[in-house]
């Protein structure tokens, strides 16, 4: 049975990497909900205009700040570089700032990485029926999955899920250059090139009115598909 908070206890050898852009209204709660289990969190403030970085710092996260808005891919790379250079962590966990990812899923994914000795665990909202993205959004995201799989040679069920567990040796192979949503395909491609073992794990994506307004709208899903095609 997968461990879930608080049974898991603090996980000291993993760092959450959270790209952060104008999420001041929710980031305090996201960090507070994660820190009991993941005491090590780095937020990359991508030049927010609403005090997100200070809110994250006050909540107990390490904050690295971009002087200009560089995009989510660049924020992820900055956070991963920080973990690799400043810590001896075994795992990097990419985690969204808007509250749609669950700490218990991240814990279960780390447990799976340990038990199965895999370097990469991709979260997937499509391995079970818990996540309800809506019919049209599902079609668009599935289209992005098909294109990503064609480009990378992997066979993922959910290529644009931001919840991932990446072991240190795999993370060292990442050099993201795509700043828009195409980074989600780029990270899969670069991880596939490491030739390290990987698996998928079912997760529940929590769609709220806030997360939909910040980036989970149908139009954003279409933008994901366009970015994937023109990458």
Question: Which residues, other chains included, contact 219 with Cβ-Cβ below 8 Å and sequence gap of 6+?
Answer: none
Nearest to 118 by CA among 34, 9, 195: 195
Predicted TM-score (pTM) of this structure: 0.84
Task: Report the percent of the chain where pLDDT is more than 90.
Answer: 62
Average pLDDT in the chain: 85
CA distances from 176 to 10, 27, 188, 226 (A): 29, 24, 10, 18
Name the band, by pLDDT with cuts 50, 70 and 90, for residue 208: confident
C-alpha distances out from residue 101 to 20, 68, 166, 206, 222, Å: 14, 26, 16, 6, 21
Give the separation between CA 170 and CA 174, rounded to whole angstroms. Answer: 7
Check pLDDT > 60 for residue 166.
yes
Contact (CB, 8 A) for 228 and 190: no
The pLDDT of residue 3 is above 70: no
Place of tokens 């996540």: 131
| Token output for 54 | 């200070």
Q: Is the pLDDT of residue 193 over 70?
A: yes
Q: Is residue 87 pLDDT above 80, yes or no? A: yes
**Domain residue spans of the chain:** 14-230
Q: Say yes or no: domain 14-230 is CATH 3.90.550.10.
A: yes
């Amino acid at each position: 049975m997968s461990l879930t908070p608080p049974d898991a206890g603090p996980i000291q050898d993993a760092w959450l990497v959270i790209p952060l852009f104008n999420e001041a209204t929710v980031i305090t709660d996201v960090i507070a909900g994660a820190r009991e289990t993941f005491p090590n969190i780095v937020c990359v403030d991508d030049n927010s205009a609403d005090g997100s970085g200070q809110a994250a710092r006050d909540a107990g996260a390490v904050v690295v700040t971009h002087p200009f808005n560089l995009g989510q891919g660049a924020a992820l790379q900055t956070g991963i570089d920080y973990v690799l250079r400043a810590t001896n962590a075994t795992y990097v966990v990419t985690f969204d700032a808007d509250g749609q990812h669950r700490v218990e899923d991240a814990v279960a994914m780390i447990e799976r990485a340990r038990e199965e000795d895999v370097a990469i665990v991709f979260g997937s909202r499509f391995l079970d029926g818990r996540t309800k993205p809506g019919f049209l959004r599902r079609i668009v995201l599935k289209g992005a999955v098909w294109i990503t799989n064609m480009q990378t040679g992997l066979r993922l069920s959910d290529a644009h899920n931001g919840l991932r567990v990446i072991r240190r040796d795999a993370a060292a192979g990442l050099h993201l250059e795509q700043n828009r949503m195409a980074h989600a395909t780029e990270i899969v491609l670069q991880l596939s090139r490491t030739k390290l073992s990987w698996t998928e794990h079912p997760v529940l994506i929590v769609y709220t009115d806030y997360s939909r307004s910040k980036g989970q709208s149908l139009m954003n899903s279409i933008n994901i598909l366009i970015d994937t095609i023109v990458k």
